[in-house]
A and B are shown apart, each in its own frame.
Chain A
C-alpha cells in the first residue's frame, strides 16, 4: 500500500504535504562541500529512500538534520518548526528520531531497558523524582508499550538479555523498536539492512513498511541495495557530491541518466 501523492520529479520539487523541508543546507569539510542541498521536501506518511554513491553525503545530511552535526548554513523545518541550532536530543523530542549505520545498541543494558529508555516524558528521569518517587505508574504503562513493541519485532524472548548479546540483525530490530518508543513523526534509518543476513532482510523490510502502513510514520532511509529501494520506496532521492541530482518515484529515478552517471562515475558497487 504505497502512499499516493503527486509531485513533479524535478530535484527540489514541492510536495503536497511536506513534513520535512530543507533549504540551502550545506556543510564543508575543508574545501569539500560534503552536503549542499538547495531544496528538498519529504512527503508525510511516505517511505523516502536516500540513495547515492559512497561519499555522496547521505549520512552527513542525516547528521545535520538530526543535530548530530552543524551545517555551515541553511535551514530546515520539521512540521513547520525550525530545527536550526536545535540539539540532537531536542530534535528527537520534537518528533524526528534517527538510527545509526553502525548499530548503537546499549550493550550492557537489557533489551527491555533499551526500549524503555526511548520513552518520552518519564518523570523519573529527573534526579529529584528518581530519589523521591512518583514515576512507577508511568513506568508501568511504558513497560506495557515496550512489551508490545518487542513482541512486534520478535524480541520478546530476548527482553531480559543484555543487548550486547544480540546478533547484528537483532540489534537493528532493537534499534527500530527503541526509536518507535519515542513515538516520532519521522524516523530516519541509516542503512537498516547493512550487515544483516539475507533471511532477516525480508523481515526488516516488512517492519519498515509497517512503520508507514500501520503507524502512519514518515520514514526516510539510506540504502545501498537497489532491489530493496525499488521494493519499498514511495519516493527516491538521489544525492551525488552532496547535492540532490534526481528525485521521483523509484522507476523514474532508476532510469534517470544523471543517477546512472553518478553511480558509474564513481566506484561501482553491486547496484542493479
Chain B
C-alpha cells in the first residue's frame, strides 16, 4: 500500500475544485442553517439553478456574466418561492418543502419536455469557453510528483478559492453586524425576536435567499470545472454532503464550512485510495471485492460522522460551551 500516494491524492482533493466549490456552497448553507437555524434540505436546488442558469444563458448565446447573474437570480427567486409560503409555518414545513422542491427541480430539468432548454438527461456542455479563454496561466503542469494540476484546473481553483475568500469576508461582515445579530436571535427564539420589534419573516426570507445565491455560486464553479451540467449530479445527497461539511467544520462559525470542505474532500479521496488498496491486499477478506470500494467508503464515512457527533458534536471549530447551553 502506497501510503504516500494516498495522502497526496487526499491533499490534492483537499485543495482542488470540488473542495472549493463545496466550501462556497457550505458558506451559504451555514448562513441559513448555522446562523439562522433554517432547516433547508434543498440546498442542492440552489446549486443546480446556479449551474444551469449559467449553462443555459451561454447555450442560448448570452455572455457569461449574464449567465452568472441569471444563475444567482434564479437561486434567489427559488429561495423566495420556497420561503414565502413556508417560513410563517413551523420549521418542519420548510424542511419538507425544500427537499421536495429540489427534487422537483432536478426532475423537471431532466425531463423530455425541458430538453430544448436544459438538454434533458444529457445536460449542457462546453459553456465555459469564455472563462477558459481568460486563463492567465500558461499551458503546462504545475506542482510536484503526483501533487499536480494543469493550467485549466489551476484557473478554476483560483476562481473557486477566490469566491471562498469573498464568501468568508462577507460572512464575517454580516454575522458581526446588527443584521447578523437578528439572524442569531431568530435561531434562538422567533417569538422573543418578534416581541422586540424585529420582522422575523423578513429576516428568515433574506437569509434563505442570500444563502441560496451563495449556493448558486458553488454550483457554477462545479459546472465550469466540468464544462458540463447534468441533472443527475444534483441529487438530494449533495445537500447532505454540504450539511456534513458545515457540521464537521462547525456550524455558526465563520471558517468552519471551509475547514469542513477541505477535510471532507481529503477524507473522501484518501478513503477511496485506502479502501481500494485494502481490498486489493485482501485485508477485508474474501467478502469484499473492488466493486465494494465505493459503498465501504460511504459506510466508513458514516461511521466517522457518527463518532464526530458523539465525541465532538460542535464540529472542529465550534464551541462546546455554546452547544451545551440549555436553550430554554
The total of Cβ contacts below 8 Å across the A-B interface reads 117
At the interface, yes or no: B196 with Cβ under 8 Å from chain A? yes
Are B178 and A99 in contact, with the CB atoms below 8 A?
no
| Contact among A87, A88, A109, A165 with B184 in the assembled complex (CB-CB below 8 Å) | A109
**What's the least CB distance linking A138 to chain B, in Å?**
8
Q: Is B177 at the interface (CB under 8 A from chain A)? A: yes
Residue pair B325, A108 in contact (C-beta under 8 Å): yes
Q: Evaluate contact between A117 and B325: CB separation under 8 angstroms.
A: no
Contacts of A181 in B (CB 8 A): 196
A106 touches B188 (CB 8 A): yes
Q: Say yes or no: A179-B179 contact (C-beta < 8 A), given A68-B191, A130-B173.
A: no
Chain B residues contacting A104 (CB-CB under 8 Å) are: 189, 191-192, 195
Question: Are the CB atoms of A92 and B196 closer together than 8 Å?
Answer: yes
Q: Is the CB of B195 within 8 A of A88?
A: yes
Q: Choose from B182, B187, B196, B210 the contact partner of A178 (Cβ within 8 Å).
A: B196
Interface string of A109-121 (1 = CB under 8 A from B): 1000100111010
Q: With A124-B178, A127-B210, A162-B325 as given contacts, are A109 and B196 in contact (CB-CB < 8 Å)?
A: no
CB-based nearest B residue for A109: B184
List B contacts of A5 (CB < 8 A).
Answer: none
- Tell me whether A151 is interfacial, beta carbon within 8 Å: no
Chain A: minimal CB distance from B227 (Å): 32
- Measured CB to CB, the closest approach of chain B to A146, in angstroms, equals 12
A124 CA to B193 CA in the complex, in Å?
16
| B134 is an interface residue with CB less than 8 A from chain A | no
A147 at the interface (CB under 8 A from B): no
A93 CB contacts on chain B under 8 angstroms: 197
Residues of B within 8 A of A127 (CB): 174, 179, 206, 210
Chain A, residues 82-118, CB within 8 Å of chain B (1/0): the string is 0000011110110001111011111111000100111
Q: Are A108 and B177 closer than 8 Å at their CB atoms?
A: no
Find out whether the CB atom of B184 lies under 8 angstroms from the CB atom of A106.
yes
Contacts of B173 in A (CB 8 A): 130-131
Partner of A92, one of B185, B189, B195: B195
Which of A68, A105, A106, A120 is close to B197, meaning CB atoms less than 8 Å apart? A120
With contact pairs A106-B185, A116-B181, A127-B210 given, residues A165 and B325 touching in the complex (Cβ less than 8 Å): yes
Query: How far, in whole Å, are A185 and B138 apart by their CA atoms in the complex?
Result: 69
- Known contacts A126-B179, A130-B174, A162-B322; decide if A109 and B188 are in contact (CB<8 Å): yes
In this complex, the interface size class of chain A, counting residues with CB under 8 Å from chain B, is 35 or more
Min CB distance, B293 to chain A, in Å?
41
Q: Which residue of B lies closest to A126 (CB)?
A: B179
Tell whether A118 pairs with B196 under 8 Å between CB atoms, given A108-B327, A131-B173.
Answer: yes
Contact, CB under 8 Å: B195 / A122: no
- Closest B residue by C-beta to A165: B325
Please report the C-alpha to C-alpha distance between residue A87 and residue B201 in the assembled complex, in whole angstroms: 11
Residue of A nearest to B199 (CB): A89
A182-B181 CB under 8 A given contacts A104-B189, A107-B188, A108-B325: no
Q: How far is the CA of A84 from the CA of B195 in the complex (A)?
A: 16
Contact with A along B305-328 (1 / 0, CB 8 A): 000000000000000011001111
Q: Is the CB of B179 within 8 A of A117?
A: no
Contact of A75 with B by CB under 8 A: no
A residues apposed to B, CB below 8 Å: 66, 68, 87-90, 92-93, 97-100, 102-109, 113, 116-118, 120, 122, 124-127, 129-131, 135, 139, 162, 164-165, 178-179, 181-182
8 A–B pairs (Cβ distance < 8 Å), ordered by A: A87-B194, A89-B194, A89-B199, A113-B184, A118-B196, A125-B179, A130-B178, A130-B180
Interface residues of B (CB under 8 A from A): 170, 173-174, 177-182, 184-185, 187-189, 191-200, 206, 210, 321-322, 325-328
